[in-house]
Structure 1
Amino acid sequence: MLFAAGAALVPWLYVLGTTLPSTARVTHWNAAWVGLDALQALGLLTTAALRGRRDERHRLTAAATAALLVVDAWFDTVTAAPGGELAVAVTMAVCAELPLAGMCAALALGGQRRSAEVIPGTPPTTPPPRPRHNTPA
């Protein structure tokens, strides 16, 4: 299903690239950007809080936050006007958003915890063994 969905997007990318206008008037532009930055702040704060409690679920919020930061860097740079606005967008991407995304990705992909470590309230890293039933042949 995922492969089919990804493959179906390839021709759609061509349609979008050849039919969408290069400029657009957008209502609620400020709400879109404030919402994206609010989600990033929530992701960073949640990741920090979970990691501070040694809760392995921080890997999930770190992965989502990394994706949001990369999306923010992309849209900041491709929607910026040439000149000073673009320079600020590139500086923010290179000095803040992408390094933070890399840190979050590293947290998300970090090593598995040792089996001796048990953090209350988190599921085990491996499922418990299934009982074997002896059935007569």
Structure 2
Amino acid sequence: MTQSDAPQSTAADEPILEERLDPPPRAVPHWTGWLLLVLGVFTLPWTANLAVALPDKSEAAHYNVSWVGFDLILCALLFRTGWSLLYHRMYVEVTAAMAGVVLIIDAWFDVMSAPDTTEFVRALVLALCVEIPLAIFCLWVAVRVEHERRRRSELMVATVRRLTGRRKRPPQ
């Protein structure tokens, strides 16, 4: 059957619920994506400036509190992701993605801020054997959960469309 052979439908032939199944309006305006892309581009020269201007070494006040706080955030994300997976909570992909990104950041700064060769090797081994694989696992969880959510959503929409298509339309 070609496209010209297919029966032409009119607006009256469409199921009544079809209008309700249209995607909802955007949660944020379309221009916000462009704004973030432009800001990302403008961040590149700033980062290049920092690479040249910042000193190679620096002492930081509250260094231990910074790392403890960062690791507590990581722990909270891992706990929340695990709990959400165990109890089938919604939006587990968000915390899983956040945990994966924080693990990558943690690995980067552990390795790059190591004060000597021994600490550098220890941080590198920990990054390569624990933090990066765990980050990849968390990101895999996020992608799989999002994929399943989309699959279920498409299945639900198809089911509703099929069911509403079988019902008689109310008299006009």
TM range (shorter): 0.7 to 0.9
Instruction: Quote the offset at 1:87 in angstroms.
Output: 1.0
Residue 52 (structure 2) pairs with residue 18 (structure 1): yes
Tell me which residue corresponds to 1:46. Answer: 80
| Structure of greater relative contact order (alpha carbons < 8 Å, 6+ residues apart) | 2
Instruction: Give RMSD over aligned pairs.
Output: 2.1
**Bigger mean CA deviation after superposition, 63-72 or 81-90:** 81-90
TM-score, normalised by the number of residues in structure 1: 0.81
Residue 79 (structure 2) pairs with residue 79 (structure 1): no
Instruction: Quote the offset at 1:83 in angstroms.
Output: 1.8
| Distance of 2:51 and 2:152 partners within structure 1 | 49
Query: Aligned residue pairs: how many?
Result: 120
The equivalences for 1:75-114 within 5 A come to 75-110=109-144, 111-113=147-149, 114=151
Residue 37 (structure 2) pairs with residue 3 (structure 1): yes
Instruction: Quote the offset at 1:13 in angstroms.
Output: 1.1
| Distance of 1:15 and 1:68 partners within structure 2 | 25
Q: Which has the higher helix share?
A: 2
Instruction: Quote the offset at 1:41 in angstroms.
Output: 0.6
Could you tell me which of 54, 58, 64 is aligned with 2:98?
A: 64
SS in 1 for 2:152: coil
- 4+ residue runs over 2 A deviation: 113-116
Instruction: Quote the offset at 1:84 in angstroms.
Output: 1.0
Instruction: Quote the offset at 1:91 in angstroms.
Output: 1.1
| Distance of 1:102 and 1:115 partners within structure 2 | 24
* 2:148 partner letter: Q
| Distance of 2:152 and 2:123 partners within structure 1 | 43
SS in 2 for 1:18: helix
Deviations 1:24-64 (A, max 9, x none): 11000001100111011100110000011112311100011
Residue 61 (structure 2) pairs with residue 27 (structure 1): yes
| Structure 2, unpaired ranges of 5+ | 1-34, 162-172
| Distance of 2:114 and 2:59 partners within structure 1 | 14
| Distance of 2:45 and 2:113 partners within structure 1 | 24
TM-score, normalised by the number of residues in structure 2: 0.65
* 1:24 partner letter: S
